Amino acid sequence: MTTGTAIGAPPSIASLLGEGPVSLFLDFDGTLVELAPGPDDIRPRSGMADDLAALSQRLDGRAAIVSGRGLSDIEQHIGPLPIAGAGSHGSDIRSADGNTLGEGAHGLPEAIERELRAFASDNSLDYEHKPHGGALHYRSKPQAGEAAHAFAEQLAHKHGWAAQSGKCVVEIVAKSANKGSAVATFLQVSPFAGSRPFFIGDDLTDEAGFAACAKAGGGGILVGDRTDTCAAYRLPDVSSVHEWLEL
């Protein structure tokens, strides 16, 4: 990790493509859509699915959404996903034509889900069921964040799962699942294999994606002004991401 203060905007996609095949991995919340008070409150701009399809076409299919959200959750907001995607922090990976890649899905064991729901209800937090995990949201009650993290950490540890921290959210997902392993899975298969990968994201969970891209000769593009990061580049906000992607 560096302090990240000196990193600047990435070269244009056109100039990156001038050096060879490029793949782009895109976080969703805080990267393609503005963050909102709750997960259902986001307002993706209209036509986003078509724009993503056009971007993927420009990259010969080497574009994927890599999100903490479940893929079906994203589809509820933007319609059928026309490009490759990894949902639930890489627990659910599929190619653009819908085929499953990697190990496939693991649903949260009932014992973990029950305890997460009880904690959320006791502490007036939002519990979000995901196809491959469960999340405690505390954006509406930030003072409960520390207790939520501590609870999720010990619960995950007890059952051999992993707690993932995000902005005002902590979630429990399969231990092997993270955005870096999702990138690595894509890079093993066509059309991603052999390309120079870049990952755009705003959150701590995106750092694993940045690192996986750096290892494969590309790099991370951090959205926002967070400091501790292994990203090579930075874009200030969601609208600058759209501009850079020429969406």
Query: Which residues carry out catalysis?
Result: 27
Q: Label residue 63 left, alpha or beta by phi (over 0 means left) and psi (-120 to 50 means alpha).
A: beta
Q: Which of 203, 218, 219, 230 binds Mg ion (CB under 5 A)?
A: 203
Applying CB under 5 A, does 197 fall inside the site for Mg ion? no
Provide the token pair at 227.
């400091």
Applying CB under 5 A, does 73 fall inside the site for Mg ion? no
Site string for Mg ion, 10-29 (x = CB under 5 A): -----------------x-x
Give which of 243, 210, 200, 238 is closest to 42, Cα–Cα.
238
Applying CB under 5 A, does 30 fall inside the site for Mg ion? yes
Give which of 8, 104, 81, 66 is closest to 192, Cα–Cα.
66
Applying CB under 5 A, does 202 fall inside the site for Mg ion? yes
Considering only residues 143 to 182 of the shown chain, the ones binding Mg ion according to CB under 5 A are: none
Strand extents, DSSP E, the chain:
22-26, 63-66, 84-87, 92-94, 100-101, 126-130, 133-137, 162-166, 169-173, 196-201, 219-223, 233-235
Q: Near Mg ion by CB under 5 A, which window of 49-57, 80-88, 151-159, 202-210?
A: 202-210
Q: Near Mg ion by CB under 5 A, which window of 44-52, 80-88, 97-105, 201-209?
A: 201-209
The least CB distance from residue 136 to Mg ion, in Å, is 17
Report which DSSP code applies to 88: G
Residue nearest to Mg ion (CB): 30
Give which of 36, 28, 91, 37 is closest to 64, Cα–Cα.
28
Considering only residues 40 to 69 of the shown chain, the ones binding Mg ion according to CB under 5 A are: none
- Binding residues for Mg ion (CB under 5 A): 27, 29-30, 202-203
